[in-house]
Amino acid sequence: MATSQRLVDPSRQFAVPTSYTWKKSYQAALLETDWTKMHECVQRAESEIHQRRLMLSQDHNGTDEERAALVDAMSALRVAASCRKPVQNERSPYPVFDSPDKAR
């Protein structure tokens, strides 16, 4: 049985989105310059990324490109969160080193 040409069109291209739903909050977290707002932005982005990863694990949609982008985004957010300066009266889990200029 031959497959109908109307059903198979080799010239048809599938559009793969390079703009993901979680990308806006991710970029906002990385670009946030107000240290007092950064924690909230990072949490929002992580939440959206976790929701998308959960959705992908349940319905197996998405692309390898997006899956790799999700992993990279989570790594970048962890780095951004670890570099965040603590808010006044907040104890940082990381050691704080004074710059050599302040030691003089």
The answer to whether residue 99 scores a pLDDT higher than 80 is no
Cβ-in-10-Å burial (0-12, 13-18, 19+) of 42 comes to: buried
Q: In this structure, are residues 20 and 66 in contact, taking their beta carbons and an 8 Å threshold?
A: yes
**3-class DSSP state of 15:** coil
**Residues sharing a CB contact under 8 Å with residue 63, sequence separation 6 or more, in sequence order:** 16
Q: Does 17 reside within a domain?
A: no
Which residue, chain included where needed, has tokens 């104890």?
Answer: 91
Confidence of residue 15 (pLDDT cuts 50, 70, 90): very low
Average pLDDT over residues 29-37: 88
Give me the domain span that covers residue 46. Answer: 23-86
- The candidate with the shortest Cα–Cα distance to 26, out of 74, 88, 89, 90, is 74
Q: Considering the entire predicted model, what is its pTM?
A: 0.62
In a domain, 103, yes or no: no
Residue 68 domain-assigned? yes
Q: With respect to residue 38, please indicate whether it lies within any of the assigned structural domains.
A: yes
pLDDT of 29 reads: 93
